[in-house]
Structure 1
Amino acid sequence: MEYPRQITAIQAAAILISTIIGVGVLPLPLFAVRDGNSGAPLLTLLGGIIAYIGIWIITKLGIRFPRQSIILYSEAVLGKWTAWIGNVLIIGFFAFLTALAAREFGEVVITSVLKRTPLEVTVIVMLLMASLSSRNDMTTFAYIHHFYLPLIVFPIVLILALSLKNAQFINLLPVWGNEPSPTDMWRGVLTIAALFQGSFVYTMVIPAMRRPDRAMVAGFWGVFIAGGLYVSTVIAAVGVFGPAETNNLLWPTLELAKATSLPGNILERLDAAFLAVWVTAVFTTLFSTYYFTIHAMSRFFRLRDHKLLAPFILPFLFALAMVPQNVVQMYDIIAIAGRLGLLITIVYPLIVLLVAVIRKKRGDAGNGKDAENAS
């Protein structure tokens, strides 16, 4: 299958950034502090490094097979039956990821803003927005992310910069944490790395790039900027509230925005403005994972178009989103599923890459033939 090559390296980086920065930014400091204490920023940094390793692997694969997505070239590398198992797990995992993101969005909205609105309404509205937007082609997909990126990044940077004036450096000491156990630290690193898993959509972006050889540079800057914002968010939250208080907050980043004001008291609280930015970030993340799910399904079933799948999977995603009984169970499921998902988003592509190198498999960059022709 050929892809229209119209996405630039800047747009590819924008897709990564706006996909990674999403619903998980609210509980991020809590996840980091729970296992790292005052070492939460270091733990977040290590999680970002693991996430970059995953991006490096799928980018290497994308450069090696510049005309196909992982759904196709994995069949050429591993064989159809083995790859089908991996592809089904990928599709199922990202469908589950999309459903959980929609549920988390709904929980925040009914708790902080629309307290009398049923949870089901907020979840279905966000899924409908993602479903309708996912009917566009890959070029429009890139334009949407590129357009919303400044609306996401600049306000978050402003809020973080203003909040740091209230931070106390002593709250960040010791840098490596207060005698954390290696097991807790490793669990926390994997939990943080799981927040970057939306970057796996890069596997469908690289074949649509004008110059796939620049995918590595775009991938680095995408993860670097998103990871830098994540580390800065944790530093700001822990610096302002301290590890103990951060551990008691369900959404520390939202509380950080409440405690931050513009100079001259133009706005005494920035939580309303932050929530507006956060809704945009949630939409771009949900849009990416929803789009990737139906895109992967269309490649798996060898369909000519993915548009018909957009409304088809919506009821299933809504049903999945309603499975958790409460917000505590939801975050337990998110943490466990996220860590297990690293086997799909990092370990599985690593196996495909190693086998491709051993078997000397390589896609055709010149005539756009399918992955099966490479075998």
Structure 2
Amino acid sequence: MANLEAKSKMSVAQFGVLIAAVMVGTQILALPGKLVPQAEQFAWVTVILGGGAFFTAAWIMMKLGELYPDQDYTLYLPQLLGKWPGLAVIAIFLGLLLIVTWVNLNQFSRGLAFFMFDRTPSDVIIMGMLGVVVYCALQDLGTIIRVAEFTFFVSTIMMGMIWILGLFNFQPENLMPFWTDKPLNILKATLDTWDVYSGYEIILLLFPLINRKKGNLTLALALAIGFVMIISVIIIVLTVGVLSVEGVKNESYPTLVVVRSVELPGTFIERLENYLLIAWIPTVFNTLAVFVYVIGQTMSRLMGFADHRPWVLAITPVIFVGATLLDGMELVKLADKTASWLGLVFSLGIMPLVYIFAKQRERSVASSGG
């Protein structure tokens, strides 16, 4: 007889791939435009520092899950902190995912409309992408993982093959000088790298579903974040090397300009940025589909539902309205900044405090039991 339970479980390797697939999303193309104006040639340093900081945050969430190996955060947070404080932390996490989904969907539609569908309203692009995302989020976890694995590997290979062509216009002198007199700018930009690594928070929900008997979960997490870190460093170095710091500051989509500047004489291939966008679409799809699934699953468990699908359908209008209401770059930047600060507070403030409280409670129970 078939083991139906396997559909709701994942291996350690699958979890690592899923984390990497969620991280390599919308922000991967917006990264240089966000970090270079602050850290200039040293934006790549901020990505490395951010990788270390947010790996630590993800590791803390993983260690918290190990204290409650058979429960997800919707169960142990209200038990640990009390009903209402626990629900407040969960609400912050859901709000964070919702705002990030709004921003990612809005920025995706803007980028696609600017380069490929200039006569198509962005609301139509949002509607089309959201329809596909919701259809995927309605499936069981096993299906979502398999879709994410396939699209992640295919899109990453395609994007890598296109990106490497930027070396034709690479100028090493654009990366100089190799020192800075603005160390505070590097530290500030490091905080903004949360957008690059956001997505590791799904471990709070998925931890009990990981088969931890085979494989090293810490290593899988480190490899996933390390992969995203390497990709981000390459993108920043290549973008600055081609456009220079001032060139990056003057472009709305510097990463796409890098690819568009490549000429392949004697070939029929033109407008390489369109091929890059086509390869980029599945990465955005993975991020959004997993986020919508996590929101739906969280709501279903809080409300006592046996199935997440009604809640996925219920939040679909909320996601669409929120993404379309971000009309204008000022609102988009405000929402993006709100999500970044909320993510920093949640990952580097709230969850470490929750973990410390859980460890102290565990010690007090052990000492009283002894």
Same fold (TM over 0.5): yes
**What is the total number of aligned residue pairs between the two structures?**
359
Q: 2:281 aligns with which of 266, 275, 279?
A: 279
Corresponding residue for residue 238 of structure 1: 240
Structure 1 stretch displaced more, 81-90 or 334-343 = 334-343
**Kept in 2: contact 1:42–1:175 (CA 8 A):** no
- Of 347, 351, 354, the residue aligned with 2:353 is 351
**Counterpart of 2:308?**
306
Q: Residue type of the partner of 2:242?
A: V
Distance in 1, Cα, partners of 2:54 & 2:129: 27
Whether the 8 Å CA contact 2:25–2:283 is kept in 1: the answer is yes
Q: Which has the higher mean CA deviation after the structures are superposed, 3-12 or 187-196?
A: 3-12
Aligned to 2:368: none
Give the aligned partner of residue 171 of structure 2: 168
Higher percent of residues as helix: 2
Task: Specify whether residues 53 and 117 from structure 1 end up closer, same or farther in structure 2 by C-alpha distance, changes over 3 A only.
Answer: same
**Worse overlay, 220-229 or 262-271:** 262-271
Residue 310 of structure 1, CA deviation: 1.1
Cα deviation code 1:108-155 (max 9, x no counterpart): 111111111111111121112111111111111211111111112212
Q: Distance in 1 between matches of 2:363 and 2:76?
A: 9
Q: In structure 2, what is the Cα distance between the partners aligned to 1:361 and 1:12?
A: 30
Deviation for aligned residue 1:158: 2.1
Is 1:139 the equivalent of 2:142?
yes
Partner of 2:51: 48
1:72–1:340 distance in 2 versus 1, CA, 3 Å: same
Following the alignment from structure 1 to structure 2, what is the Cα–Cα distance between the partners of residues 263 and 344? 50
Equivalent position amino acid for 2:11 in 1: T
Question: Any unmatched runs of 5+ in structure 2?
Answer: 365-370
The reply to whether residue 61 of structure 1 matches residue 64 of structure 2 is yes
For residues 13-36 of structure 1, the C-alpha deviation after alignment (integer angstroms, 9 at most, x for no partner) is 111111101111121001111110
In structure 2, the CA distance between the partners of 1:69 and 1:262, relative to structure 1 (3 Å rule), is farther
Task: Name the counterpart of 2:205.
Answer: 204
Q: Which residue of 2 aligns with 1:373?
A: none
Distance 2:301 2:280 in 1: 31
AA of the residue aligned to 1:46: L
**In structure 2, how many angstroms separate the alpha carbons of the residues matched to 1:263 and 1:20?**
35
The alpha carbon displacement at 1:324 in A equals 2.3
Letter in 2 for 1:327: M
1:288-325 Cα offsets, whole Å, 9 max, x none, are 11111111212222321111111111111112112323
- Please show how residues 210-221 of structure 1 align to structure 2 within 5 Å: 210-211=211-212, 214-221=216-223
Pair 153,271 (structure 1): closer, same or farther in 2 beyond 3 Å:
same
Change (3 A) 1:136 1:38: same
Give the whole-Å Cα distance in 2 for the aligned partners of 1:361 and 1:171.
Answer: 54
Question: Where does 1:35-184 land on structure 2 (aligned, <5 Å)?
Answer: 35-177=38-180, 179-180=181-182, 182=184, 184=185
CA distance in 1, matches of 2:22, 2:210: 17
What TM-score do the two structures reach when normalised by structure 2?
0.90
Q: Deviation of residue 249 (structure 1)?
A: 1.1
Residue 175 of structure 1: how far off its partner (Å): 3.6
Q: 1:15 to 1:361 in 2, by over 3 A?
A: farther
CA contact (8 A) 1:237 1:253 kept: yes
Contact 1:163 1:240 in 2 (8 A): yes
Q: Using a 3 Å threshold, how does the CA distance of structure 1 residues 145 and 263 change in structure 2: closer, same or farther? A: farther
Q: Confirm or deny: 8 A CA contact 1:131 1:311 kept in the other structure.
A: yes
Q: Deviations over 1:315-336 (max 9, x none)?
A: 1111211232313431343134
> 1:372 matched to which residue of 2?
none
CA contact (8 A) 1:29 1:253 kept: yes
Structure 1 unaligned residues grouped into runs of 5+: 363-375
Q: Is the 8 A contact 1:17 1:223 kept in 2?
A: yes
